[in-house]
Amino acid sequence: MTDSTATKATLQVNNSNSITTAICWCLAWGDERKPKFDLPVLQQMRQALHEGTEVPEQVRLLVEQVQELENLKFPEKLEELKQYTENYPLLWDSKIGLVYGGATKIKQYVFEAAKLPDIRGASALLDRINLVDLPAFFGKYEDFPKSISISQWLRKHFPELEIALIPELIIYSTGGNILAFCPAELVDDLANAIEKRYTEETLTANSCAVGAKFKPLEFRFGLLPNQIDQTFWFNKYQTSIEHPLIQAYFAQPDVNDPQQTFKESKSFNQLVAKLASLFNQRRNGNDWINRPSHRYPPTFETHPYLKRDEGDRRSVVMKAEGLPNAPWFSEALARKRIVGQISKLDDSPKA
């Protein structure tokens, strides 16, 4: 799935009220690890936005500016864009986190073992993490027994995330990846939690998660420099449309409607593209400030004189006496086999 495709699908799935609630929640949380307002005020605001009733007085101005963000006319001139930064200081001076992550090198993990139950189990395990575990971080619980334990796991390892995340923050969590809003100062915590969850559940699967902070106006008008006067905007674009770099960046601009081409580019897609670039950098092993290194993938040491599992990769930890030929399993392979058996029972026709 490409970044633009994922984003378009996202905006179709999530209604505007959910996006508004997510942005309001992050702005009301503030730029610290603890919420700027009391948690009951944030909960009342969320409920009021959901029901369409009056929001608490403390956050009313904030909510009004966020609601106006959706209806702002796309500025044709840089002066108009600059006027927005002056008229809506909260939308310009504040920051909101955006986190993108998921499993990587999936085929390497899924097809590591040749037997169908192990392949099925590996695929089902990754799906469960993406569709059940990660949404549960945000309090979006499915009818699944592990949802409660996931909440307990998050409280143990990342206690501040438990109260900071709500279901409306999820933009999408399908196709093996998750994209979600997050309070600005908790971006690294959420990215670390995503990677840690994959590693603890699968032991050997590769995963990657990155995050960045953006101004609320950027969710509407794409990436913007801190010095708004230095922004490359439509007036410059229109005079440079024949330049090779401009044509390459804007993917063959439509000379008959250059404004529409520019508007389609300066959108939420630019933010997702930046996260995709950061994702590739971290996956490739580049160092990351304030975060654990991702340079070394999960590995398990073995020894030439120890018995190994069926894939001849890791030392065994158990013998499955109840299965045909009583195979030996390493812990990573045992998890695949168990989840594979569970998924097979779930897919079997019900009487």
Residue showing tokens 């050997």: 204
**Class level of CATH domain 3-222+267-283:** alpha beta
Which residues, 6 or more positions from 287, have their beta carbon under 8 angstroms from its beta carbon? 293, 295
Average pLDDT over residues 272-278: 94
Average pLDDT over residues 180-200: 95
Average pLDDT over residues 257-268: 82
**Averaging pLDDT over each range in 75-84, 141-150, 339-348, which range is the top one?**
75-84
- At residue 4, does pLDDT exceed 60? no
Render pLDDT for 114-151 as a digit per residue (tens, 0 to 9).
Answer: 888 889 999 999 999 999 999 999 988 765 555 668 88
Give the number of other Cβ atoms within 10 Å of residue 329's Cβ: 21
Render pLDDT for 306-316 as a digit per residue (tens, 0 to 9).
Answer: 777 766 677 77
- At residue 10, does pLDDT exceed 50? no
Give the number of other Cβ atoms within 10 Å of residue 315's Cβ: 15
How does DSSP classify residue 59? G
Q: Name the pLDDT band for 15 (thresholds 50, 70, 90).
A: low
Q: Give the span between the Cα atoms of 327 and 77, in whole angstroms.
A: 70
Domain definitions of the chain by residue range = 3-222+267-283
CA atoms within 13 A on the CB side of 99: 29
pLDDT at 346: 60
Residue pair 202/331 in contact by the 8 Å Cβ criterion: no
Q: Give the span between the Cα atoms of 73 and 5, in whole angstroms.
A: 24
Q: Give the span between the Cα atoms of 329 and 128, in whole angstroms.
A: 22
Percent of the chain topping pLDDT 70: 89
Average pLDDT, the chain: 84
